[in-house]
Amino acid sequence: MIIAGVDIGTNTALMVVAEKHSDGSFSILKDEHSVPRLGEGIDFHGFINDNACARGVLSLQQFGAILHELRVESVRAVATSAMREATNGRDVLALLQSALGWPIEIISGADEARLTFLGSVGSAQEPTLMIDIGGGSTEYALGVNGNVSIAVSASIGAVRFTERFATEKPIPDKQIIAARDLIGDQIALYRKDFRNSTMCVGVAGTPIALAMIDKGLNTYDALALEGHVLSVDRVHELSAWLCSLTIDELRSIPGIHERRADIVPMGSVILAESMRIFMCPTLRITTRGLRFGAMFTAENTEQSLRIID
């Protein structure tokens, strides 16, 4: 049986397609990434603009063609922060569903955190904190053995913070401090709960970009990136460096998508500050995330899963 999971985020649109075997394992057939930046300007204007909507439609048309070509039998497609917040979210949803050819759910922040934990951490046997830095929000979830004890979503995304604090590059120190203060305000309530983890896992474009820089990769390589570990000191070091660069310097970093380069500095500030507040000494990188959680649950799949790469 061929199944798929689609993650329609504020900055990216991601899709994974896999063959589900009779023993419950999966073989990955496609892992597609696009950067339509659906949530461009939404923090200020409150709606998804026409250009962003057109980019989103194009991305989902491409995904839909792949789903048709592979004769996918079951799809779970989920939309997150931008679609939750947009005043025209329902109108855009209709366009995106038509482009994809499958229904799309607008999920809550807590459900996003739980599904991302399932897709990235799964049934790890040690208490694990998952940090998923998106464009409009950041999700945190703590769990063990596939059971999530706390899952929250904070309005501190990389696109949102770039538009609010980092229109000038290099980013002025006062803007970085203001961003850190807001991060602290948003997540301080969970300080005690999330310090109970023994492992911290980083999900999405920002941790992957930092891992690529740390490993000196010129192109995206999921196998090389999966499981790479960054210390909190290294994350802070990379964040300070990224915030000191011009936009041209950011776009010249090998392997970083040109439509992601401008938001990586603020994404790194969110990650570094989250690790500091929750006392995470290290971060393990994963290239999996919400799209995998959506796929695993497309047919009410059990949380205990075995992946065949």
| Residue 307's pLDDT band (cuts 50, 70, 90) | very low
Q: Are residues 127 and 260 in the same domain?
A: yes
Q: Are residues 184 and 163 in the same domain?
A: yes
Mean pLDDT computed over 175-191:
93
Count how many domains the chain has: 2
Q: Are residues 201 and 304 in the same domain?
A: no
Q: Are residues 101 and 114 in the same domain?
A: no
Give the pLDDT of residue 197.
Answer: 81
pLDDT in tens, 284-300: 999 999 999 999 998 87
CATH code of residue 175? 3.30.420.150
Q: Are residues 134 and 262 in the same domain?
A: yes
pLDDT in tens, 89-127: 899 999 999 999 999 999 998 899 999 999 999 877 888
| Residue 304's pLDDT band (cuts 50, 70, 90) | very low
Q: Are residues 174 and 273 in the same domain?
A: yes
Give the pLDDT of residue 267.
Answer: 96
Rounded percentage of the chain residues whose pLDDT exceeds 90: 69
Q: Are residues 142 and 15 in the same domain?
A: no
**Mean pLDDT, the chain, as a whole number?**
90
Residue 64 has pLDDT above 80, yes or no: yes
pLDDT in tens, 200-226: 999 988 999 999 999 999 988 989 999
Say how far apart CA 116 and CA 289 lie, in whole Å.
Answer: 5
Rounded percentage of the chain residues whose pLDDT exceeds 70: 97
Mean pLDDT computed over 166-180:
96
Residue 164 has pLDDT above 80, yes or no: yes
Query: Which domain, by its residues, includes 135?
Result: 110-285
Q: Are residues 131 and 209 in the same domain?
A: yes
CATH code of residue 34? 3.30.420.40
Q: Are residues 139 and 84 in the same domain?
A: no
| Residue 195's pLDDT band (cuts 50, 70, 90) | confident
Q: Are residues 153 and 266 in the same domain?
A: yes
Q: Are residues 231 and 173 in the same domain?
A: yes
Mean pLDDT computed over 145-155:
88
Q: Are residues 206 and 90 in the same domain?
A: no
The answer to whether the predicted template modeling score (pTM) of the entire model surpasses 0.75 is yes
Give the pLDDT of residue 309.
Answer: 36
